Chain A
Amino acid sequence: MKKVLTTCGYCGCGCNFYLNINKGEIVGVTPKFDHPVSKGKLCIKGWQGFGFVRHRDRLKKPLIRNAAGEFEEASWEEAYKYVVNKLSNIKEKHGGNSIGFLSSARCTNEENYLLVKLARAVLDSNNIDHCARL
């Protein structure tokens, strides 16, 4: 069994715990006893909030809407190509500020930084925000 130390993804307290992994499955959670916030305790979301990871509803492949309006599975290459073509066209025709970006308070710092960079540096758009206000 391996133990992976990580930060809870559910609230701004930022408790730390170990995820106990056996054969590619989460088999338990151990709070970090000397963490300044959690001090060995967790709330119910910390203890129980991992069930969704292997839920059957997870998206497993890129999806593109086809001419009939239905989602169709696609390769990553196709999906990137689709996004790049469409966004480049829109940027060309209407300018970068016709594109809006919503970043995420659930994603990591690094990911938020990259989305800001994608918006401002690559697509020339000032419109980047996330739901801090919500």
Chain B
Amino acid sequence: MTNSIEELAQADVIFVIGSNTTEQHPLIGMRIVEAVRKNGAKLIVADPRKIRLSDFATIDVRLTPGTNLAFINGILNTIVTEGLANEEFIASRTEGYEEFKASVLKFTPEKVEELTGVPAATIREIARIYAKATNASIVYAMGITQHVTGTANVKALANLALITGQIGKEASGVNPLRGQNNVQGACDMGALPDVLPGYQKLSEEDVLNKFAQKWGQNFAHGKGLTVSKMMEEAAHGGIKALYVMGENPVLSDPDSSHVEEGLQNVELLVVQDIFMTETAKFAHVILPGASFIEKDGTFTNTERRVQRVRKALDPIGEAKPDWLILTELIKAFGYEASYTHPKDIMDEINQLVPSYGGITYERLENQGLQWPCPSVDHPGTKYLHKDKFSRGLGKFTPAVYRPAEEQVSEEYPFLLTTGRVQHHYHTGTMTRRSWALDREYPDGFIEINSEDGKALGIWNHSRVKVISARGEIEARAVLTDRIKQGVVFMTFHFGDSPVNKLTNRNLDPDVEIPELKVCAVRIEGVR
């Protein structure tokens, strides 16, 4: 996030797109509702479903999955043609405007209405509200990124903030909500194939020298494979061994049969986890780790706030905290690792990662710190890009449009989109075993528009088969008016309705994120 969660309350316009905030980020969702109810903020919601936030929205739009890009371009077109652009901001803080301007002219609201089904007048109205706001914040999540145009979608939202100057000041900016509790931290720590910890470049001499002092001269500093590519290579024999820590790709990754094929094919699969997950069942060796309740460490939340995690219980049985397992394993390979507490690891991170330079356990004792925090006397950073962007001038990206890779057909006439519910977390390993949560949502379900349900001859709560070109699963039908006709919705929390048996492996060409939000399916009643 470029802003802090607290700042959302001060925004006078909040534009939520591709984020079911009250379910995935409940306390941020609550902040948005507060901004509307207490401060009279205007809320714009765009989603394939009528989500809870829709009930508080000034303008609420049902988008067909896979048409975000056209929709955002339509808003940008209106801003250009109606003279709503912030010329002063564009002149002093951005570059590439003229080229961008030319590219967006063809996306007239009328044309976009054809592509998305959203009325041209609504698109114009949204553009005006957003551009004229004193402080406008954009909030988005996986609904924007899990598409073949994921990167282009994100850039289009950046264009929107740049053209109106709604960025780099209090309560305005572009705020991606990171899904799982520590996605931000995992990225910060370099659990990515193309950067070192702290997003430091693999090609920079100074950086490599610095790391060599702690990691030894010969550490690998090339660009590696993404998860999606690793799974593909596992199936094709390029990857011989996989070490999986606290992940469950069989349920979380697209096209599970393909993932299973890869896991079966490797010579060695090491799984470090707290439960016998669907993935662990394929392992050759399983190392029992500890949950966040049984260990010390830090998590970094979606607004870059690094906070302490504290051990409240001993690990169960002979299980060990994951940091200890890794420390002992590194030693077993004959390398030095003298960490006796996660604090020692943070000391090393302080020295190697500039943005975490001043984030020490002593300072985290009572409250968290937001990075960048380069030194121990630095107070942390509430919002990014205040006076300039990290790359200097903000760059406009020419507008493009590309539809979703997978489209409906006669055989598969419905568009399936995926998401989550508030009571469960990811593949449900923990929450499905927490009784008070599981009783609320005990089984896999599929939301179908009531009219579509009627046409299919399906009753509310009856069992249905959901079939895609990759596979088929069963689920309970939930008929509702909150979803667009022709679109159906499922979550991936449930091992007995594993929705990723259906999803496809089409990837965004830039960051290789899979198109999890769009897949064509057919629905049949089960007798």
A and B bind: yes
A residues adjacent to B (C-beta < 8 A): 4-16, 19, 21, 24, 26, 36-38, 41-45, 48-55, 57-65, 71, 74, 76, 79-84, 86-88, 90, 93-94, 96-134
Question: B177 at the A/B interface (Cβ < 8 Å)?
Answer: yes
Kindly name the residue among A63, A99, A106, A117 whose own CB sees the greatest number of chain B CB atoms within 10 A. A106
CA distance A129 to B227 in the complex (A): 6
Interchain residue pairs A-B with the least CB separation, the first 3: A60-B317, A14-B301, A108-B297
Q: Closest B-chain residue to A127, C-beta based?
A: B224
Contact check, A45 vs B287: say whether CB atoms are below 8 A apart. Answer: no
Q: A6 is contacted by which of B302, B308, B316 (Cβ under 8 Å)?
A: B308
B residues adjacent to A (C-beta < 8 A): 4-6, 24-28, 30, 145-146, 177-193, 196-197, 215-216, 218-228, 230, 233-234, 238-247, 249, 252-253, 267-268, 270, 273-276, 280, 283-289, 291-295, 297-303, 305-314, 316-320, 322-323, 326-330, 332-333, 335, 337, 339, 342, 345-346, 348-349, 367-368, 422-423, 425-426, 429-431, 433-437, 440, 511-514, 516
Q: A61 is contacted by which of B196, B275, B318 (Cβ under 8 Å)?
A: B318
Contact check, A114 vs B241: say whether CB atoms are below 8 A apart. Answer: no
Contact check, B187 vs A96: say whether CB atoms are below 8 A apart. Answer: no
Known A14-B299, A106-B292; contact A120-B221, beta-carbon cutoff 8 A: yes
Contacts of A36 in B (CB 8 A): 4-6, 305, 367
Number of A-B contacts (CB under 8 A): 426
Contact check, B288 vs A60: say whether CB atoms are below 8 A apart. Answer: yes
The smallest beta-carbon distance between A127 and chain B, in angstroms, is: 4
CA distance A118 to B233 in the complex (A): 21
The smallest beta-carbon distance between B370 and chain A, in angstroms, is: 10
Q: Interface on chain A toward B: helix, strand, loop, or mixed SS? A: mixed
Contacts of A37 in B (CB 8 A): 5-6, 27-28, 301, 303, 305
Q: Closest A-chain residue to B188, C-beta based?
A: A109
Contact check, A124 vs B218: say whether CB atoms are below 8 A apart. Answer: yes
Q: Closest A-chain residue to B282, C-beta based?
A: A65
The smallest beta-carbon distance between A62 and chain B, in angstroms, is: 6
CA distance A131 to B226 in the complex (A): 9
Contact check, A120 vs B215: say whether CB atoms are below 8 A apart. Answer: yes
Q: Closest A-chain residue to B243, C-beta based?
A: A101
Q: Closest A-chain residue to B424, C-beta based?
A: A45
Known A12-B302, A24-B313, A129-B230; contact A108-B193, beta-carbon cutoff 8 A: no
